[in-house]
Amino acid sequence: MPRPKGGMGLAPENVYEFPADMEEAQSLQLQRKCIETTSPLSKYIEAEHQEAGLFSLSPLDASLEATLDLQKKRRKKCGACTPCLRKENCGTCANCLNRKTGKQICKLRKCEQLKKSAFHGNVHRTSSREAQKQFFFCLPESVC
DNA sequence: CGTAACGTACCC
DNA sequence: GGGTACGTTACG
Ligand SMILES: [Zn+2]
Ligand SMILES: [Zn+2]
């Protein structure tokens, strides 16, 4: 079993022992150096979001904090999955056709790790926008 | 500086 | 929920 990590029902694709392309290897070794990169804009936006009314309010914030910590940094392609090993774009998928506006990698090249999620299933951050809306609309009950 | 791509918001 | 658009980030 060349695959220590595995998986909850992962696609049994033809994942042979990849000799780790030089590009991938070098990229991995290089990225090892840089760790915490300064994010001026990120910091600014973070403050804005907090001002919007996203302060700690419940024990849920604990998990949320952890999620945010990892979700903050932009992840990179693992470079080991089949899509990552793809060399050229298909040129026929929606992402390829809308790359001008969509700015997304070819669907056939999208890394499996990035496809899934930042983590193994955390709080539904999908309602981040709705949560804020509800937060403001659900206040009167307690205040008034 | 230019490009590729990730993350998220927005549309249905 | 899925697809698309945009802003932003990472790298050559
Ligand atoms: Zn494609
Ligand atoms: Zn990958």
Spatial distance from the CA of A99 to the C1' of B4 (Å): 10
Structural domain for A113, as ranges: 77-117
Residues A24 and A69 in one domain: yes
| ipTM here | 0.92
Give the pLDDT confidence of A16-75 residue by residue, as tens digits: 454 455 555 556 555 555 445 455 565 555 555 565 554 555 555 555 555 556 556 789
Please state, in angstroms and rounded to a whole number, the distance separating the CA atoms of residues A76 and A73.
9
Amino acid at position A130, single letter? E
Cβ-count burial of A131 within 10 angstroms (0-12 exposed, 13-18 middle, 19+ buried)? middle
CA angle at residue A59 from A115 to A73, to 5 degrees?
35
Q: Are residues A113 and A129 in the same domain?
A: no
Q: What is the pTM of this model?
A: 0.63
A144 part of a folded domain: no
A81 and A113 within one domain: yes
Instruction: Determine the Cα–Cα distance for residues A29 and A96; give it in Å rounded to an integer.
Output: 29
**The total number of structural domains that make up chain A:** 2
In a domain, A49, yes or no: yes
Nucleotides of C under 7 A from a protein CB: 3-12
My answer on whether A18 and A62 are in the same domain is yes
Give residue A121 CA to ligand 2 midpoint distance, Å.
Answer: 18
> What residue has token string 């300064």?
A38
